[in-house]
Amino acid sequence: MNAFIAIVRRDLLLAARRKSEVFTALFFFMIVVSLFPLGIGPETAMLRRIAPGVLWVAALLAAMLSLNRLFAADHQDGTLEQMSLSPTPLALLVSGKVLAHWLTSGLPLVLLAPVLGLQFDLSPRALGVLMVSLLLGTPVLSLVGAIGAALTLGVRGGGVLLSLLVLPLYIPALIFGAGAVEADVAGLGAGGHLSLLGALLALGVFFAPWAATAALRIALE
């Protein structure tokens, strides 16, 4: 467990040294979200309808931007090899890296989303549901993304390939996440969607580190 905390702290420290990467993803999220009203038109009713989908799709893309770097630096300087040889199970260390990734790329999106939701005239209640859905959903994105990042480690054209692999797997999170907000706006209650999102998260926590570890071992061979 100590190793897990150490990995999280180390990755957070590294992220703090390279703040620009975190902010780039955040600004990307803001810009993508702001493009939609410009492309579609400013009618409030329309914006309210598309807001959950737009915010969620933008969050998917923003979370994916930083996936490339999840293992790349550690792979290049050999840290990853050391980790795989350490007595601590690699899956645990991978989980630590995923948690750190979520703290630096997912959590800021959760915090920023309500501000952007205001641009779309969402009600305070819907903003709350949006935050909860992102809180449950963005860790799924980091977990599933870790599998893709591990598989494309050191592979030609890794970045585009990563999105090709990972985006289809993100669809359930997108559907339940955006669906939760929509259901709430429609007055149907977001409970069902949110609990399904929670189930996805539980599945992801259980399986994704294991699959990502298997993929990393292939890259390290």
Partner 1 sequence: MSQRLVNWFKFASPASFYPLAGKMWPWFAAIGTVLAAAGLWISFFVAPTDFQQGEGYRIIFIHVPASWMSMFIYCVMAFWAAIGITFNTRLSGMMSSALAPTGALFAFLSLWTGALWGKPMWGAWWVWDARLTSELILFFLYIGYIALTAAIDDPRRADKAGAIISLVGVVNVPIIYFSVKWWNTLHQGASVSLTKAPSMAATMLWGMLIMALAFWMYSIAIALYRVRAIILERERHTTWVAELPEMQR
* Binding interface with partner 1 (CB under 8 A): 147, 151-152, 155-158, 161, 164-165, 167-169, 171-172, 175-176, 179, 182-183, 196, 200, 203, 207, 211, 214-215, 218-219, 221
CB of 14 to partner 1, least distance (A): 26
Spatial CA neighbour of 137 closest among 92, 54, 194: 194
CB of 219 to partner 1, least distance (A): 8
Dist. CA 185–CA 48, nearest whole Å: 9
CB 112 within 8 A of CB 30: yes
Q: Is the CA virtual torsion 192, 95, 10, 17 positive or negative?
A: negative
CB of 170 to partner 1, least distance (A): 10
Rank residues 108 and 172 by Cβ distance to partner 1 and give the closer one.
Answer: 172
Rank residues 8 and 136 by Cβ distance to partner 1 and give the closer one.
Answer: 136
CB of 164 to partner 1, least distance (A): 5
Rank residues 122 and 140 by Cβ distance to partner 1 and give the closer one.
Answer: 140
DSSP assigned state of 188: S
Rank residues 6 and 188 by Cβ distance to partner 1 and give the closer one.
Answer: 188
- Residue type at 126 in one-letter notation: A
Mention every residue, 6+ apart, whose C-beta is less than 8 A from residue 202. none
CB of 94 to partner 1, least distance (A): 13
Dist. CA 164–CA 159, nearest whole Å: 9
Rank residues 131 and 169 by Cβ distance to partner 1 and give the closer one.
Answer: 169
Query: How far are the Cα atoms of 56, 66, 74, 190 from residue 85, in angstroms, in the given order?
Result: 38, 26, 14, 45
Rank residues 112 and 136 by Cβ distance to partner 1 and give the closer one.
Answer: 136
Tokens representing 47 are: 């914006």
CB of 118 to partner 1, least distance (A): 25
Dist. CA 122–CA 37, nearest whole Å: 14
